[in-house]
Amino acid sequence: MSVLRGLTIIVVSGDPERFRAALTLACAQSALGGGARLFAHEGAAALFVAGEEEDAAALKTHGLPTRSDLLAMAVEAGVSLIACQTGLAIAGHQATDLPPGVETGGMIDILATLGEDRLVTI
């Protein structure tokens, strides 16, 4: 099996469905043996903070993981999860509000450390 290039995913909005898709993509990359990191830009950063998930009951009814479940799966799979520091501040959150396994960072660092990773925006 060939070695997968890393995958860096930038979530560009606070849309929960896009965030779920990004988490799913990162977990799939990790399951295939590749490195993955997810950067939640501005409005997406607040989605890392625990809170009410409007569709949680419907997801569970259909056997799908909630956003919280996907976050836990991503952490367990070794996905690097990064919240935009500015986005957190805009939403009234701090780094201490983030769950274990989520760090803060910025776009400059993401691009400076991209290396040979593939870059996807969602």
Averaged pLDDT of the chain? 94
Residue 15 is part of which domain span? 7-121
Domain-located, residue 1: no
Site of tokens 């995958």: 7
pLDDT digits (tens, 9 = 90+) for 25-35: 999 999 999 99
Strand partners, 84: 105
Does residue 51 or residue 74 have the better pLDDT? Answer: 74
For the chain, how many helices (H) and strands (E)? 5, 5
Domain-located, residue 35: yes
Domain-located, residue 75: yes
Q: How many domains does the chain have?
A: 1
pLDDT digits (tens, 9 = 90+) for 76-111: 999 999 999 999 999 999 999 999 999 999 999 999
Q: What is the CATH number of the domain that holds 40?
A: 3.40.1260.10
| pTM for the structure as a whole | 0.92
Burial of 83 per CB tally in 10 Å (0-12, 13-18, 19+) = buried
Domain-located, residue 27: yes
At residue 63, the pLDDT reads 87
pLDDT digits (tens, 9 = 90+) for 49-69: 977 677 878 888 888 898 999
d(CA 110, CA 90): 20
Neighbours of 2 (CB within 10 A): 5
Pull the structure tokens for residue 68. Answer: 């919280």
